[in-house]
A and B are shown apart, each in its own frame.
Chain A
Amino acid sequence: MKKIISFKYVFVSILLLIALWQFAFTISDYSEALFPSPLMALQALIEMILDGTLLASISASMYRFVIGYGLSVIIAVLLGLVLGSFPKVFNYVNPSLQLLRPISPTAWMPFVVLLFGIGDLPAIVIIFIAAFFPVLLSTVSAVLKIDDIYFRVADNFGIRQPALMWKVILPAAFPQIANAIHLALGSAWIFLVAGEMVGAQSGLGYQIIDARNNIRADILLATIFVIGIIGLFLDFLLGLVEKKILKAWGGEQ
């Protein structure tokens, strides 16, 4: 029952969005080539699906995303667990992290392109940077915040490293780490598109630029729509995984 109600909200909400778009199309003076209607975008979407360009773009983007985001999360969590376990070391690392953190990942873009050229790498690097700092800093703070009693209990029962890491530190810090991983997914996906607009010759971000160059606003808007849908889907997927792990570790479901 709850599912059906939430579907109702989704349906109405999306319908309203499309209606607003249609309304803007109706009253605007722009030519159809520059500002197409929802129906035209849908036709472009079908065209892209049929000729295979959409699938090619999505798979290029997903490849970069999975590698960039996956590596970033794995390295950030591992590094965060280590730095959190050695607060004295973290004190030396933290100022540099704070300096690098507020820099927009796109600011690195030209530098990355200079180093690696056009291709998969710039987008991967941008995604990596976008996810890295929030996940790293959250992991460190989650480890530092672990209740001392868990360490006392572990100490008392003779649990030492490396068992301490995966029996106590990781599960104790996990809820906060999971939260950061989840938030980072959103920003990583956002920066994937930015990365591909500048540093790639394929993928969803490039497709937007390509559509603009060919003055195909219908393809452009259809691609934007697809980017939104995939972002939503990835978020949903990660939410499921997160819930599964939390449940296995006795958290609230």
Chain B
Amino acid sequence: MSYIHIENAGKTFVENGAEFTALADVNLDIDKGEFICLLGPSGCGKSTLLNAIAGFDLANHGSVQIDGKEVVSPSTKNVTIFQNYGLLPWRSVIKNIELGLEAKGIEKNKRREIANKYLKLVKLENFADSFPRQLSGGMKQRVAIARALAVEPDIIFMDEPFGALDAITRMKLQDDILDICKTEKKTIIFVTHDIEEAVFLADRIVVMTPNPGKVKGVIKVPLHHFRDRTSGDFLLVRDKIFDLLNMKTEESIEYNI
């Protein structure tokens, strides 16, 4: 069986007496080391699915299993990175990165050593003693990434992590995350509504549509780790997604005589 196994997973809420289906009948298998993007417009249930796998908000239908075990709560083996960073503003950058290591009971010097290593990996070694409020959005998200990597998780969940960043910073971080993936070899599940971001990052893209939230299709991205945002293959994959999301306009033909 695959590493992450999702079978008929669904999530319904009761709101004002009416039942609302946020997610319906998701079947998905994810292998170890895969980079998966959950892609779709708002309301398609992509964050709901992520939270169900991460254990923050469990699915109430079907089953979600990681490594053969049903997900019942967040695990320290899998770390989530949020859009608004989730850094603790009262802790310096280095202390933020040490947060997960403290709970693991790692002794002080060793903690600092590990934290410094990951701080270097995200190229923020000059900001160890800064506080989050002194950093830009992109830098904050790098700290969150370093903090997640420091506990050496099996899976990293990312919930629109670059959604609050400007386009150029976002592309820079996309490059960085691909670099980090190459060296760290993590399973990553990445929620986004940005089609190009998904094509650029993912091994497979799970395209989702709303009302009710469901998986429309899964697209394999055969671009490996060398990605060129302007190459023909890149555009081809993007085209397929547009197709799945019914975002292609019917070609109108003009006749000129």
Q: Produce 1/0 per residue, B44-88, CB < 8 A to A.
A: 000000000010100000000000000001101011101010101
B131 near A250 with CB under 8 A, answer yes
Chain A residues within an 8 Å CB radius of B54: 156
Is the CB of B255 closer than 8 A to any CB of chain A?
Answer: no
Is the CB of B170 closer than 8 A to any CB of chain A?
Answer: no
29 contacts between A and B (CB under 8 A): A149-B82, A149-B86, A152-B56, A152-B80, A152-B86, A156-B74, A156-B78, A156-B79, A156-B80, A157-B76, A157-B99, A158-B76, A158-B100, A158-B103, A159-B103, A163-B103, A167-B102, A171-B90, A174-B90, A249-B90, A249-B91, A250-B89, A250-B91, A250-B92, A250-B131, A250-B132, A250-B133, A251-B89, A252-B133
Number of A-B contacts (CB under 8 A): 61
Is the CB of A172 closer than 8 A to any CB of chain B?
Answer: yes
Chain B residues within an 8 Å CB radius of A168: 88
Which 4 A/B pairs are nearest by Cβ-Cβ distance? A250-B131, A249-B90, A157-B100, A171-B90
Is the CB of A47 closer than 8 A to any CB of chain B?
Answer: no
Instruction: Tell me whether chain A's interface is mostly helix, strand or loop, or mixed.
Output: helix
In the complex, what distance in Å separates the CA atom of A160 from the CA atom of B100? 11
Q: Output the nearest chain A residue to B105 by Cβ-Cβ distance.
A: A158
Q: Which of A155, A172, A174, A251 is in CB contact (< 8 Å) with B74?
A: A155
Which has the most chain B C-beta neighbours within 10 Å: A152, A155, A157, A167?
Answer: A157
Q: Output the nearest chain B residue to A245 by Cβ-Cβ distance.
A: B90
Chain A residues within an 8 Å CB radius of B103: 157-160, 163
Q: Output the nearest chain A residue to B91 by Cβ-Cβ distance.
A: A250
Interface of chain A residues 133 through 157 with chain B (CB within 8 A): 149-150, 152-153, 155-157
Chain B residues within an 8 Å CB radius of A250: 89-92, 131-133
In the complex, what distance in Å separates the CA atom of A172 from the CA atom of B87? 11
In the complex, what distance in Å separates the CA atom of A156 from the CA atom of B56? 9
CB distance from A116 to the nearest CB of B (A): 41
